[in-house]
Amino acid sequence: AQKITQTQPGMFVQEKEAVTLDCTYDTSDQSYGLFWYKQPSSGEMIFLIYQGSYDEQNATEGRYSLNFQKARKSANLVISASQLGDSAMYFCAMREGPFFISNFGNEKLTFGTGTRLTIIP
């Protein structure tokens, strides 16, 4: 089974609208971390937001928020008031714990296949 599933290969959204990018994950660990990265057409990977499995509040960073539903194993990224510069590939990723020890499982960041977001002016 895929560890990280992003079911939307591509999305088109009107500028200034909010957009939700879906991410579901599969793990049997109680301790894990979820990350979202943005990859513009220039190719670099930009960290956006992090959610720990034990965090009680949904993470927010400026216009980005993470809709974390632990029981459903989903960690959707919400971008409010989208801008043309938001057009990019977006990747959801997971690290599995426990984090107080270090092993391959919790060093490896497992990525989904990404969602290409296009903002329409």
Among 86, 112, 117, 119, binds other proteins (CB under 8 A): 112
- For strands 88-96 and 110-111, give the pairing: antiparallel
- Spatial neighbors of 52 by CB under 8 A, at least 6 apart, are 32, 33, 34
Task: Mark residues 21-40: x for contact with other proteins by CB under 8 A, - for none.
Answer: ------------x-x-x---
Q: Encoding tokens for residue 26? A: 């599969």
- Per CB under 8 A, 102 contacts other proteins: yes
**Binding span for other proteins by CB under 8 A among 12-20, 58-66, 78-86, 107-115:** 107-115
Q: Which of 15, 26 has the CB closer to other proteins?
A: 26
For CA atoms 50, 51, 55, 60, give the dihedral sign: positive
Using an 8 Å Cβ cutoff, are 78 and 65 in contact?
yes
- Per CB under 8 A, 91 contacts other proteins: yes
